[in-house]
A = this chain, B = another copy of it.
Amino acid sequence: MSTTRTIPELTAPVEDYLKVIFELEAGGGVAGTNEIASTLGVAPASVSGMVRRLADQGLIAHERYRGVQLTKAGRLAALRTIRRHRIIEAYLTTALGYPWDRVHDEAERLEHAASDELIDRMAAAIGEPTTDPHGAPIPTRDGTLDEQPLQTLDAVEVGARVCVQRVGDRDAEQLRYLAELGIMPGRRVEVLARAPFDGPISLRVGRLTRTIGAGLAKRILVGP
């Protein structure tokens, strides 16, 4: 039994699919064709095509008309790409002064071109970070991901003081807005009020009071 480190040279699109499937799986068992398609901005038929190829390569298990799941090999490849992505994001902000709303797109391209050596050197240069600038945990070199159970901000009871842990990294405009409000990982906030029927939520951030919609609050993860 060999644990041969086969490096089958995945293409950039393949890495993108695996990453997306991994993230969709995290939020509910299997990933659907249409979900994958809309996340990647691609036609559903294109996904069916790629799904065949990924299954042939042993990276996913596919049950026709039922959805898709990563195999062990697929999960490892996905985590490798996610590690690259997040280390690049962290490096760009810490070492090159990138604003946090612009690192995602850059990392999206670099993650497919950077060697393992580069990723390791970047990580070392900024002190082996454990999360990216948006608070997402960075998988280790051997593919372990430390996912903490977090609450969304819209579910926090009124009066509680919580610590912002993580926000979505995809929407640049949203990130710019959150930065303006001072809502970023590490920041403590207190929930002052929550209007019913998915109404706005009032927060104390530092010594200021801010009010955000329930939709936005749902994309902010907090912990104790």
Contact = CB atoms under 8 A, between A and B. Distances in A.
A110 B109 CA distance: 9
A169 B121 CA distance: 21
B117 A102 contact: yes
Q: Which of A95, A97, A109, A113 has the most CB of B within 10 A?
A: A113
Q: Say how many copies of this protein the assembly contains.
A: 2
A96 interface: yes
A118 interface: yes
A129 B43 CA distance: 44
A112 B105 CA distance: 14
A121 B109 contact: no
A interface, over-half SS = helix
A161 to B, nearest CB: 37
Contacts of A102: 117
17 contacts: A92-B118, A96-B121, A96-B122, A96-B125, A98-B121, A102-B117, A105-B115, A106-B115, A106-B117, A106-B118, A109-B114, A109-B115, A110-B110, A110-B113, A110-B118, A112-B113, A113-B113
Given A95-B125, A110-B118, 8 more contacts: A96-B118, A96-B121, A98-B121, A105-B115, A106-B118, A109-B113, A110-B110, A110-B114
